[in-house]
Amino acid sequence: MSSKGIQPRIFWQEKYRAEQLAAEMNSSLKEKFLQLQKENVEQSRKVATRQAELDSLLKKKAHMGDQVYISPGRTDAVQLEIKLWELERRREALKNELQVSSSPEEQKSGLLNRLKNDNLQMSTLKKTINEIQEQIKHAEQSLSHTHQ
């Protein structure tokens, strides 16, 4: 028998066993079992949905990766965008951490200092990203003029 035929057979055998066990349970245990089955089905749907989203994002990432490697300027811009995103996440994590572990005055002082530093870094990165995007735009315009 092929492995393709074995899988459905095992599935149906397990399903039959579960139904038999459920039929033999007392009402409260059976109710809990049915609730857990419903939750299992719902979680399985969520997993399938998330997996589809992940697959879609991985395809997009691969496509974007192909596009990025075409132009070194785009590679730089993407790397800076990633760094900016990481800094923003770090800023949020630090804010949350400070709120939990220090007095209100210390929190305020520390947050202000970190916020100033993070904002400075982000504005520098945004400026660099804009400059690189301008360079890409000019390079693409230059390429389109040379091809015409």
Residue that has been written with the tokens 């982000």 in this structure: 122
Residues 104 and 128 in one domain: yes
Question: For the chain, what is the domain count?
Answer: 2
Rg of the chain over CA atoms, in angstroms?
28
Mean pLDDT of 105-125: 83
Per-residue model confidence (pLDDT) at position 46: 92
Q: Burial, 106: exposed, middle or buried (Cβ in 10 Å; 0-12, 13-18, 19+)?
A: exposed
End residue of a domain, out of 43, 70, 97? 70
Over range 45-55, report the average pLDDT.
Answer: 92
Same domain, 49 and 88: no
Task: Select from 11, 35, 70 the last residue of a domain.
Answer: 70
Same domain as 126, residue 102: yes
pLDDT of residue 49: 92
Q: Are residues 55 and 84 in the same domain?
A: no
Among 70, 100, 125, where does a domain finish? 70
Categorize the per-residue pLDDT at 6 as very low, low, confident or very high, splitting at 50, 70 and 90.
confident
* Nearest CA among 94, 76, 87 for reference residue 123: 87
> The tokens 């997009």 sit on which residue?
60
Q: Are residues 91 and 125 in the same domain?
A: yes
Closest CA to 76 of 124, 128, 38, 28: 128
**pLDDT recorded at residue 102:** 66
Tokens for 95, please give them: 């804010």
Whole-number Å distance between alpha carbons of 1 and 4: 8
pLDDT at 106 over 80: no
Same-domain status, 139 and 95: yes
Task: For 10-32, give one letter per residue: b (16+ CB within 10 A) or e.
Answer: eeeeeeeeeeeeeeeeeeeeeee
Q: What is the pLDDT of residue 47?
A: 92
Question: Range of 12's domain?
Answer: 1-70
Q: Looking at residues 81-89, what average pLDDT do you find?
A: 88
pLDDT at position 148: 66
- Residues 111, 137, single domain; the answer is yes
Residue 53: pLDDT band with limits 50, 70, 90: very high
18-32, 53-67, 92-106: the lowest-pLDDT one: 92-106
Mark whether 85 and 141 lie in a shared domain. yes
